[in-house]
Amino acid sequence: MDSIRLKARAKINLALDVTGKREDGYHEVRMVMQSINLYDSISLTKSREPGIRIRTNRAYLPTNEDNLIYKAVRLIMDEYGIHSGVDVVLEKFIPVAAGLAGGSSDAAAAMVGMTRLFSVKTSMTRLMELGVKVGADVPFCIMRGTVLAEGIGERLTRLEPMRSCPILIAKPGINVSTKYVYSNLILDEDTVHPDIDGMIDAIKRRDINGVCSKMGNVLESVTVREYPVIEEIKRQMMASGAINAMMSGSGPTVFGVFGNRRNAGACADVLRVTGIAKQIYITDVFHCFGR
């Protein structure tokens, strides 16, 4: 095999709780994460020329060691003694700096792709252990599916698959710094923590309404205050028939869970006309079969 192409899938946080802050500055989290069928495409090709070369359809993305793909490919090369050069082509569709783990998913796909391209004998568990060196979301993006994430996001437990349903993704024309959001998060007696265990039970019962009733993201207390457009998008989704709507990760992307694709499409049309969201996609959940 001289070349391989993989899909790097975005994620949403069905629930995101922050339970404390560690001495090393990282926050302890408890999250229900879900892969969705919105993805980037990554092609890896062996090259006789040493080094790592990245090309992408987005001019604003770095193509050097600042790109998580570069870090992921270099990590696999160093770990498994790979000396051949690699050419990478990234077709980027997942919104950037959006709370959808696009960069982490690209890195995860690159790690998986490298092991397949060079016939490296390893396990998903080992790749996930290596992935956390690239980013906290990378282990999940290697595992994918419906997952409970704990610790800093690296302790993962696979859950029953989320029932399929339309998901509307809407990102306003702003970018949000994850570091800023966590740095300004205040946890006190007024913090409303989502019912993670209740959501896991609803997922197990394949109860979409139950899942949606347990949705919650403590980071909204920071990001929504800073960017009110997020709340505007949520309100529009609810007015258009969403079962529930919430910000994903540290934002600013909002996702809405819909009972049918017609309502999701009508809401997408309204969001485009009003202009409060700049990147809009209708997708659904991904059940972790194949890349």
Could you give the residue numbers annotated as active site? 11, 137
Residue 39's nearest CA partner among 7, 6, 5 is 7
Question: Could you tell me where the beta strands, DSSP code E, fall in the chain?
Answer: 3-21, 27-47, 52-56, 85-91, 146-151, 155-158, 166-171, 216-217, 244-247, 254-257, 279-284
| Conformational region of residue 142, where left means phi above 0, alpha means psi within -120 to 50, and beta covers everything else | alpha
Cα dihedral 56, 174, 38, 140, rounded to 10, equals: 90
Identify the sign of the CA torsion 280, 134, 147, 286.
Answer: positive
Report the alpha-carbon distance of residue 25 to residue 195 in Å, rounded. Answer: 25
User: Tokens at residue 80, please?
Assistant: 């498994």
Q: In a 10 Å sphere around its CB, with 0-12 CB exposed, 13-18 middle and 19+ buried, how is residue 134 labelled?
A: buried
Neighbours of 183 (CB within 10 A): 11
For 124-161, give the DSSP string.
Answer: HHHHHHHHTTT-TTHHHHHH-SEEEEEETTTEEEE-SP
β-strands 27-47, 146-151 pairing: antiparallel
